[in-house]
Copies of this chain bind each other. A is one copy, B any other.
Amino acid sequence: MPQFLNLMPLSDAMQVYKENLPPFVPETETVQTVEALQRVLAKNIVSLEALPPFTRSAVDGYAVIAADTFGASESLPAYLKIVGEVPMGNEPAFSIVRGETAVIHTGGMLPEGTEAVVMVEDTQLSDQSEVEIMRAVAAGDNTIKAGEDVSPGEEVLPAGMSLRPADIAGLIALGKIDVEVNLKPRIGIISSGDEIIPPDQKPHMGQVRDINSYSLSVLVQQHGGVPVRYGIVADTAEALEKSLRQAYDECDAVIITAGSSASTRDLTAEVVGQLGQPGVLVHGVRIRPGKPTILAVCDGKPIIGLPGNPVSALVISNLFVVPTIEYLLGVKVVRPVPTVKAQLSTNVSSQTGREDYVPVKLRCTDDGFMADPIFFKSNMIFTLAQADGLMYIPADAAGLPPGEMLEIVML
């Protein structure tokens, strides 16, 4: 039976894979901005207008000429004549001269002649037509100047950014109710293995249901791709080649979960390698789970072979499948991955020279979160469903002791 003779360190595997992926320019489509969550901007967004379009009050109060308030204090207030109230949603029909003021609400447009706003808390009404100003303000105080948020011609959002609610708010603020985004990549998914049957069937002895086609579909959707399932393929060179060729022709990338035995994995690598140049770049990575991973680029198209074991396939997808989707999506703005800080509850052993990802369950204690590692065997999918996240053991550690502070990536 064949062995893995040349396991590659993870960083080397990622590097050789990325170096062989050609520059990719996704096609684009225009969608409603309100439906564009998590879509990736195709072009830089440049504002054609100023935001806000006029100088607005940031508070409820009185619009003033700053010089009229100089020296004003609680003991020695300035007295200003109220000549009007700024209507919301309209330009004030009046202007202000020295000695005058107008009532203004938050968001209201400053009347001509005024340059600041005194907060209502710093005033006192003498009578309906006069207000005592008890604090001096400088020009610009308590206002948002026209163009202070965005000026015309300013680039506000870069191409390659995955849109979040705040970005969508920005697009809407500029009146951009449609937005050009990169197409979602089509990711072909193939399950191989003679023991695998569709999940709606009852397995006979020796058979198990196809999990990977579905869990990987969900993962692809979650990260902004369109999964295309090609079903289950028998472990023969002809069947694998036919299915892989079709998925390769119809999709932007292909994931195949190889049968779990070593000979089947080698068969998969052989067939993948024939799809194009340079072919298989990585076959075997020094990580657990995920050792039998295949990374290939065939005439510019990424092909990923994942372990048949559904726990491994899902855990390791974060390392190989997610970056591939991001590459095809044209993601250029990369944000840090948030984690949960937790203390390891018990010793976890590992092999020096190998990177490990271990599922953990998080437990809330008075001292913060404790991470209980879940020791998993291949194919026990509910070990993963019970977990909250994954802990990482670096290659230079022979394990981690209890009490170690971890950064858990949530599942």
Contact = CB atoms under 8 A, between A and B. Distances in A.
Interface in A373-411: 377-385, 387-389, 407-411
A165 interface: yes
A5 interface: no
Nearest to A364: B336
Contacts of A172: 199, 209-211, 214-215
Contact of A383 (B56, B149, B164, B175): B149
* Identical chains in the assembly: 2
A164 B411 contact: yes
B177 A199 contact: yes
Q: Which of A168, A215, A377 has the most CB of B within 10 A?
A: A215
B165 A222 contact: yes
A369 B336 contact: yes
A143 to B, nearest CB: 9
Contact of A339 (B167, B339, B389): B339
Interface stretch (A68-76, A257-265, A343-351): A257-265
B52 A107 contact: no
Contacts of A105: 259-264
Interface residues of A, number: 105
A407 B175 contact: no
A377 B58 contact: yes
Interface in A306-321: 308-310, 314
B168 A215 contact: yes
B362 A336 contact: yes
Interface string A261-301: 11110000000000000000000000000000000000000
A140 to B, nearest CB: 11
B380 A149 contact: yes
A379 B58 contact: yes
Interface of A: 1, 3, 33-34, 37, 51-54, 56, 58, 60, 87-92, 105-109, 120-121, 144, 148-150, 156-157, 164-170, 172-173, 175, 177, 193-197, 199-211, 214-215, 217-219, 221-222, 235, 259-264, 308-310, 314, 335-341, 362, 364, 369, 377-385, 387-389, 407-411
18 contacts: A34-B217, A56-B379, A58-B378, A60-B261, A89-B194, A106-B378, A107-B259, A108-B206, A165-B215, A166-B384, A169-B384, A170-B382, A172-B199, A173-B310, A173-B382, A335-B362, A335-B410, A339-B341
